[in-house]
């Protein structure tokens, strides 16, 4: 009986080497694309790294690995290394730029209103912009304080839902200063899986501010659906896609619908004129161009609780010809029934009228700090 022929080990090794060469060539082409991706991100003010998007990619890779009869965990481990290589390649390209790109953080993911506002504000900047999304505003501000970001863009108030208290509290903690503001019009959309009808919905997910802005629509058109808060609008849209549950919808932007492959189920969810104000914060104040209208934000704590002390402070501002545009109070942590006040006034903090007004009101306060002077936003943004 003739023994079965043994595979030619040399031929097998040669075949493996050819495949290895193909893998290396594919990896090189992937890295070349990573360079192009970095250039596109800089030109279009797109986020540099989106952790949620990477998680979706790895989930897809695991599923495809199983379909090919491969160990999904080992394949995921390899792909994580490939992703890290791509990110390192992009970072290397950034460091080779003639002008270092501006690093800007914002809360949310691609398609969130903070992301759209950041793109509008920074796209086209000479030298490029490196946008990074964070799960929470605090994470973005802490990265700024650690000098891992140059600037952070934060939503601070909405014409329908009011103030974003977390932003005010972060400003009070110090270490950052307001350097600019942006006012952007908000056009919410109700997003769901393709083919879903309103009557199929049982849950609507979005940022608490967006839910508040659309409260009338939810009450009148979807009274049976439960409103569920989420960290940001773009993340809510992403969760609808990930959960793949036809009974769940999100309130987010039309850009988020395109980003996550969702269908717009309803428009005109909030009042026609709905705007969100964003503030840009940095570690240091920046020089202001002359000849533009300025706004100055103040943080103060009144020195005592005697009746009329707040009124007296406002009166002293008025006597100096300082126009007050906003007054917001927030409780002082650990001091029951005591409040700190956020005050927006027109003018530059270094101008003679405002300098004199601050000298006038300082004796009435136990704490007074200028949060920033910056150009006053005049127009509204494009629809999101």
Task: Check if the beta carbon of residue 147 is closer than 8 Å to that of residue 100.
Answer: no
Residue 120 and residue 143 in one domain: yes
Mark which of 73, 95, 117 sits at the end of a domain: 95
Residue 23 and residue 60 in one domain: yes
Task: Give the ranges where 124-213 is alpha helix by DSSP (H).
Answer: 137-145, 165-172, 208-213
Residue 345 lies in a domain: yes
pLDDT band at 53 (very low <50, low <70, confident <90, very high): confident
Predicted local confidence at residue 183, as pLDDT: 93
Predicted local confidence at residue 91, as pLDDT: 67
Range 229-243 burial, b when 16+ CB lie within 10 A, else e: ebbbbbbbbbbbbee
Q: Name residue 227's beta-bridge partners.
A: 204
Predicted local confidence at residue 69, as pLDDT: 93
pLDDT, tens only, 257-292 = 998 999 999 998 987 778 899 999 998 887 777 788
Mark which of 163, 185, 207 sits at the end of a domain: 185
pLDDT of 328 over the 70 cut = yes
Q: What is the mean pLDDT of residues 245-267?
A: 93
Predicted local confidence at residue 383, as pLDDT: 35
3-class secondary structure, 46 = coil
Residue 383 lies in a domain: no
pLDDT of 99 over the 90 cut = no
Residue 141 lies in a domain: yes
pLDDT band at 94 (very low <50, low <70, confident <90, very high): low
Residue 292 and residue 354 in one domain: yes
Residue 166 and residue 220 in one domain: no
Q: What is the mean pLDDT of residues 190-210?
A: 94
pLDDT band at 81 (very low <50, low <70, confident <90, very high): confident
CATH number assigned to the domain comprising residue 29:
1.20.59.10
pLDDT, tens only, 227-243 = 999 988 989 999 999 99
Domain count, the chain: 4
Q: Name residue 358's beta-bridge partners.
A: none
Q: What is the mean pLDDT of residues 299-317?
A: 86
Residue 24 lies in a domain: yes
Among 43-52, 166-175, 251-260, which is the least confidently predicted range?
43-52
Residue 220 and residue 163 in one domain: no
Host domain of residue 33: 12-95
Catalytic residues: 276, 278
The pTM (predicted TM-score) of the whole model is 0.76
Mark which of 185, 205, 236 sits at the end of a domain: 185
Residue 108 and residue 91 in one domain: no
CATH number assigned to the domain comprising residue 340:
3.30.70.260
Cα–Cα distances in angstroms (integers) from residue 252 to residues 105, 205, 238, 270, 304, in the given order: 20, 9, 10, 12, 44
Q: What is the mean pLDDT of residues 245-261?
A: 93
Cα–Cα distances in angstroms (integers) from residue 349 to residues 13, 124, 141, 160, 183, in the given order: 74, 30, 23, 29, 21
% of the chain residues with pLDDT over 90: 58
Mean pLDDT score of the chain, rounded to an integer? 88
Q: Name residue 152's beta-bridge partners.
A: 105, 281
Residue 6 lies in a domain: no
pLDDT, tens only, 128-168 = 888 999 999 999 999 999 989 989 999 999 887 788 889 99
Task: Give the ranges where 207-299 is alpha helix by DSSP (H).
Answer: 208-213, 215-221, 233-243, 254-260
Residue 132 and residue 153 in one domain: yes
Q: In what order do the strands lie in the sheet with 189-192?
A: 226-229, 203-206, 248-252, 189-192, 263-266
Residue 163 main-chain phi, psi, to 5 deg: -80, 150
| Sequential DSSP letters for 280-334 | EEESS--PPPTTS-EEEEEEEEES---TTHHHHHHHHHHHTTPPEEEEEEEEETT
Predicted local confidence at residue 380, as pLDDT: 41
Query: Given CA atoms 288, 289, 290, 292 in this order, what sign does their dihedral have?
Result: negative
Please give the torsion angle defined by the CA atoms of residues 232, 237, 239 and 245, in that order, rounded to the nearest 10 degrees.
140
Measured distance CA(213)–CA(269) in Å, rounded? 8
Residue 274 lies in a domain: no
pLDDT, tens only, 360-378 = 999 999 999 999 999 998 7
Residue 305 and residue 364 in one domain: yes
Residue 202 main-chain phi, psi, to 5 deg: -130, -10
Instruction: State how far Cα 214 lies from the chain centre.
Output: 20
CATH number assigned to the domain comprising residue 223:
3.40.190.10
Residue 106 and residue 165 in one domain: yes
User: In this structure, what DSSP letter does residue 71 have?
Assistant: -
Residues in CB range of 256: below 8 A, 6 or more apart: 110, 111, 112, 189, 191, 233, 234, 237, 238, 250, 262
Predicted local confidence at residue 52, as pLDDT: 78
Residue 199 lies in a domain: yes
Residue 381 lies in a domain: no
Residue 131 and residue 80 in one domain: no
């Amino acid at each position: 009986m003739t023994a079965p022929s043994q595979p030619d080990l040399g031929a097998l090794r040669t075949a493996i080497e050819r495949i290895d060469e193909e893998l290396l060539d594919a990896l090189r082409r992937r890295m070349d694309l990573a360079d192009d991706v970095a250039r596109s991100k800089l030109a279009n003010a797109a986020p540099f790294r989106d952790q949620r998007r990477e998680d979706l990619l790895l989930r897809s890779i695991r599923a495809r690995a199983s379909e090919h009869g491969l160990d999904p965990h080992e394949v995921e481990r390899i792909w994580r290394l490939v992703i890290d290589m791509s990110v390192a390649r992009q970072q290397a390209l950034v460091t080779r730029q003639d002008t270092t790109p501006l690093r800007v953080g914002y809360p949310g993911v691609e398609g969130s209103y903070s992301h759209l506002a950041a793109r509008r504000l920074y796209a086209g900047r000479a030298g490029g912009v490196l946008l990074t999304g964070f799960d929470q505003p605090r994470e973005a501000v802490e990265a700024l304080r650690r000098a891992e970001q140059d600037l952070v863009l934060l939503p601070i108030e909405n014409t329908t839902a009011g103030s974003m208290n977390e932003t005010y509290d972060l400003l009070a903690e110090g270490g950052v200063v307001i350097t600019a503001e942006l006012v952007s019009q908000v056009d919410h959309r109700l997003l769901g899986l393709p083919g879903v009808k309103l009557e199929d919905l049982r849950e609507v997910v979005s940022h608490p501010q967006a839910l508040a802005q659309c409260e009338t629509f939810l009450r009148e058109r979807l009274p049976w659906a439960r409103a569920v808060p989420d960290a940001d609008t773009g993340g809510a849209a992403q969760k609808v896609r990930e959960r793949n549950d036809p009974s769940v919808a999100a309130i987010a932007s039309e850009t988020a619908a395109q980003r996550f492959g969702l269908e717009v189920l309803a428009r005109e969810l909030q009042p026609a004129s709905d705007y969100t104000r964003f503030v840009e914060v940095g570690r240091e104040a920046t020089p202001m161009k002359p000849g533009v209208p300025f706004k100055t934000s103040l943080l103060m704590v009144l020195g005592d609780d005697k009746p009329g002390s707040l009124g007296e402070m406002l009166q002293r501002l008025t006597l100096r010809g300082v126009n007050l545009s906003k007054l917001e109070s927030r409780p002082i942590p650990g001091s029951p029934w005591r409040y700190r006040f956020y005050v927006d006034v027109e003018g530059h903090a270094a101008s003679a009228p405002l300098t004199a007004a601050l000298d006038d009101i300082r004796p009435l306060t136990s704490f007074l700090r200028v949060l920033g002077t910056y150009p006053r936003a005049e127009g509204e943004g494009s629809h999101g």
